[in-house]
Homo-oligomer: A and B are copies of this chain.
Amino acid sequence: MDSTTRPTLESVAQRAGVSRQTVSNVLNAPHLVRPETTDRVRSAIDALGYRPSAAARQLRTGRSRVVGLRLEPVQDGINGAVLDRFLHALTESAQARGYRVMLFTAPDDEREIAQYGELLDTADLDAFVLTSTHRDDARAAWLAERDVPFVTFGRPWSAPGAATDDHPWVDVDGSAGTRAAVEHLRRLGHERIAYLGWPDGSDVGEDRAAGWAAAMVDAGHDAGLLRRLHARVPDGVAAGAQAIERVLADAAPTAVVCASDSLALGALTVGRSRDTPLAVVGFDDTPVAAAVGLTSVAQPLTEAAHRALDLLLDQLDGTGGTRSKQVLLAPHLVERASSRTP
Contact = CB atoms under 8 A, between A and B. Distances in A.
Interface of A: 1-2, 5-6, 51, 53-59, 64, 66, 71, 73-74, 76-78, 80-81, 84-85, 87-88, 91-92, 95, 100-105, 119-124, 146-149, 237, 262, 265, 286-288, 290-292
A270 to B, nearest CB: 13
B53 A71 contact: no
Contacts of A81: 77, 81, 84, 287
B55 A64 contact: yes
Nearest to A302: B74
A287 B288 contact: yes
Given A1-B146, A54-B124, A74-B88, 5 more contacts: A2-B147, A53-B121, A54-B122, A77-B81, A100-B103
Contacts of A287: 76-78, 80-81, 288
28 contacts: A1-B120, A1-B146, A1-B147, A1-B148, A2-B146, A5-B146, A6-B146, A51-B121, A51-B122, A54-B55, A54-B123, A55-B59, A56-B59, A66-B102, A71-B87, A74-B85, A77-B286, A80-B287, A81-B81, A91-B103, A91-B104, A92-B105, A95-B104, A95-B105, A100-B102, A101-B102, A102-B102, A237-B291
Contacts of A149: 1
Contact of A290 (B57, B59, B77): B77
A77 B84 CA distance: 10
- Assembly stoichiometry (copies): 2
B124 A55 contact: yes
Contact of A104 (B84, B100, B105, B237): B100
B101 A103 contact: yes
Contacts of A55: 54-56, 58-59, 64, 124
Contact of A5 (B59, B92, B147): B147
A148 B1 CA distance: 5
A288 B291 CA distance: 8
A316 to B, nearest CB: 10
Given A1-B147, A291-B288, A292-B292, A91 B105 contact: yes
A211 to B, nearest CB: 25
A239 to B, nearest CB: 12
A34 B1 CA distance: 36
Please give me the 7 A-B residue pairs with the lowest Cβ-Cβ distance, nearest first. A77-B287, A2-B147, A55-B58, A55-B55, A84-B84, A54-B124, A91-B103
B66 A59 contact: no
Nearest to A57: B122
A43 to B, nearest CB: 20
A122 B51 CA distance: 8
Contacts of A6: 120, 146
Contacts of A58: 53, 55
A130 to B, nearest CB: 16
B122 A290 contact: no
